Amino acid sequence: MLEVKNLHARIGDKEILKGINLTINDGEVHAIMGPNGSGKSTLSAVLVGNPAYEVTEGEAWYNGKNLLEMKPEDRAHEGLFLSFQYPVEIPGVSMTNFMRAAINEKRKYHGQEPLNASEFMKLMREKRKVVELDSKLAHRSVNEGFSGGEKKRNEIFQMAMLEPTLSILDETDSGLDVDAMRIVAEGVNKLSNEKTSTIVITHYDRLLEMIRPQFVHVLYKGRIVKTAGPELAKEIQERGFDWIKQEADGE
Ligand code: ADP
Ligand code: MG
Ligand code: MG
């Protein structure tokens, strides 16, 4: 699914990613943890093609294609999905119209006819049920005036609609309450199958207890310095990151 090799990236003249190696196979759920400022959000931004970051070295392959040579919108059409740490509000654009444009752009990319209004509404209904999104939210402007939990559910709904093969969920460093965590966890658990993969970026051990990733990575100073099973999240919860920082700095 995804193979990242020795990935380096910078913003301005500041190098942020300093040699990331990461392999994700079909059906796997990976968590990325790490102290604030270690490059977690940068990694997700680089993978989806945020032009603010410059890749200076390394490779990223996605289902056999060179991810770094693809336009950001094509990465999305190929099945890459990034949730935003701080979801944007788009006043005046209803969720319905927003999703319809996104779905039909993706279909066009794959040489398929656009969905007509009734096909699209049927899809909306099906997916709303899966993620238990209130129909009222679906008709409001994108994220406008949504509560934190509603934004989360909306994000999971977008994910359900777009049926990504690789989802990257970059969770806020603060302010994700237990209900919002449950929404995210249930969504990820419902939507993942043997053909999809998920990267959850979080420092919430609680969230990872609900999602149960097979792999937990720690990103520190632009490198993955530790990889283990879900027990690592628990250990970090209990001991913090200092011991991992010391191990990494001592090398
Ligand atoms: P994390 O998500 O792990 O907290 P980030 O990827 O957000 O870390 O940030 C990594 C480092 O890159 C930090 O030192 C941060 O200040 C810096 N950085 C990120 N984005 C920018 C930017 N747009 N301009 C300047 N520095 C940035
Ligand atoms: Mg941060
Ligand atoms: Mg971040």
Sign of torsion over alpha carbons 204, 20, 249, 38: negative
How confident is the model at residue 88, as a pLDDT? 67
What is the predicted ipTM? 0.95
Q: What pLDDT digit, counting tens, does each position of 79-93 carry?
A: 999 886 556 677 778
Residue carrying the six token digits 């609680």: 206
Mean pLDDT across 168-180: 80
Residue carrying the six token digits 């752009």: 105
d(CA 9, CA 16) in angstroms, rounded, equals: 6
Query: What is the whole-number distance in angstroms between the Cα of residue 50 and the centre of ligand 3?
Result: 14
What does R_g of the chain's alpha carbons equal in angstroms? 18
How confident is the model at residue 97, as a pLDDT? 87
In Å, the largest CA–CA distance within the chain is: 61
Choice from 10, 13, 15, 16 to test ligand 1 binding pocket (greatest atom count within 8 A of CB): 16
Asked if residue 108 has pLDDT above 80, the reply is yes
d(CA 146, CA 137) in angstroms, rounded, equals: 8
| Residue ID of nearest Cα to ligand 1 atom 26 | 11
Q: Please, what is the average pLDDT of the chain? A: 91
CATH superfamily of 2-250: P-loop containing nucleotide triphosphate hydrolases (3.40.50.300)
Q: What pLDDT digit, counting tens, does each position of 26-47 carry?
A: 999 999 999 999 999 999 999 9
Query: What is the whole-number distance in angstroms between the Cα of residue 126 and the centre of ligand 3?
Result: 32
34 ligand 1 Cβ < 6 A: yes
41 ligand 1 Cβ < 6 A: yes
Asked if residue 151 has pLDDT above 90, the reply is no
Asked if residue 122 has pLDDT above 90, the reply is yes
